Amino acid sequence: MIVITNMCKTAKILNDVLEYIDSRMRIFIRIVIILQMGLMALIVNLQVVARYFHVAFIWADEISRLLLVWSMMLGAVYALSDNQHIGLSFIIDRFSGAKRKFIMLVNNLAMLLLLVVIAIQGIKMLPMFGMSKAAATGMPISVPFFAIPFAAICMIIVLARVIANLVLHRHSNVVLDRQS
């Protein structure tokens, strides 16, 4: 009985740590996405106005694409953290109680496994670019591709929190949103 109590305390502490990391990560990601989208809008509009005067900024296209890629990947992390990602909830909604919790747990474990593979393969992919640089900016090609493993690692943290919440909550109507 003492072992189970200690395991529950450890799980609760881990859950609290994951909640803290997730909440700080959400704040940081939200600020970064807002800044990226604003900067991207500014660059694209600047490029449109400059072309009207027959001036072209060769770096604008590369930078706006970089910002778009990172915004998309960070947006996926934010959506997952806020339980706003696309899902087939009509299947899960057909179940209740322990069956629902089990299906949600299996679903989240499968997503976690996929994200671990994406993170590992994304990290393995980075050295393949070597010293390649973007044509206009001279930025390493690995910078936009780093968004893949970075976002996967962030999503792993989010899913660890979600799975910890599922395991710790014993009631049947476990909700994955921020209010759980």
pLDDT in tens, 1-28: 565 566 677 778 888 898 999 999 999 9
Residue 76 burial by CB count (10 A; 0-12/13-18/19+): exposed, middle or buried? middle
Q: Pick the residue with more confidence: 44 or 83?
A: 44
Distance from C-alpha of 147 to C-alpha of 155, rounded to nearest angstrom: 12
Q: What band does 95 get if pLDDT is binned at 50, 70 and 90? A: confident
DSSP 180: -
pTM across the whole model: 0.84
Give the residue among 104, 78, 93 at the shortest CA–CA distance from 166. Answer: 104
User: Residues 78-102: what's their mean pLDDT?
Assistant: 84
Phi, psi of 133 (to 5 degrees): -125, 150
pLDDT digit string (tens) for 109-166? Answer: 999 999 999 999 999 999 988 788 988 888 999 999 999 999 999 999 999 999 988 8
Q: How far apart are CA 137 and CA 61, in angstroms?
A: 10
Report the chain's C-alpha Rg in angstroms.
21
Paired tokens of 172: 């049947």
- Return d(Cα 41, Cα 67) in angstroms, integer: 10
Bridge partners of residue 140, in order along the sequence:
133
Identify the pLDDT of residue 5.
Answer: 66
- Name the burial class of residue 177, with classes exposed (0-12), middle (13-18) and buried (19+) by CB atoms within 10 angstroms of its CB: exposed
On the question of pLDDT at 62 being above 50, the answer is yes
Query: With contact defined as beta carbons under 8 Å apart, do 149 and 123 qualify?
Result: yes
Question: Per-residue pLDDT for 177 more than 60?
Answer: no
pLDDT score for 166: 87
* Predicted confidence (pLDDT) at residue 179 exceeds the cutoff of 50: no
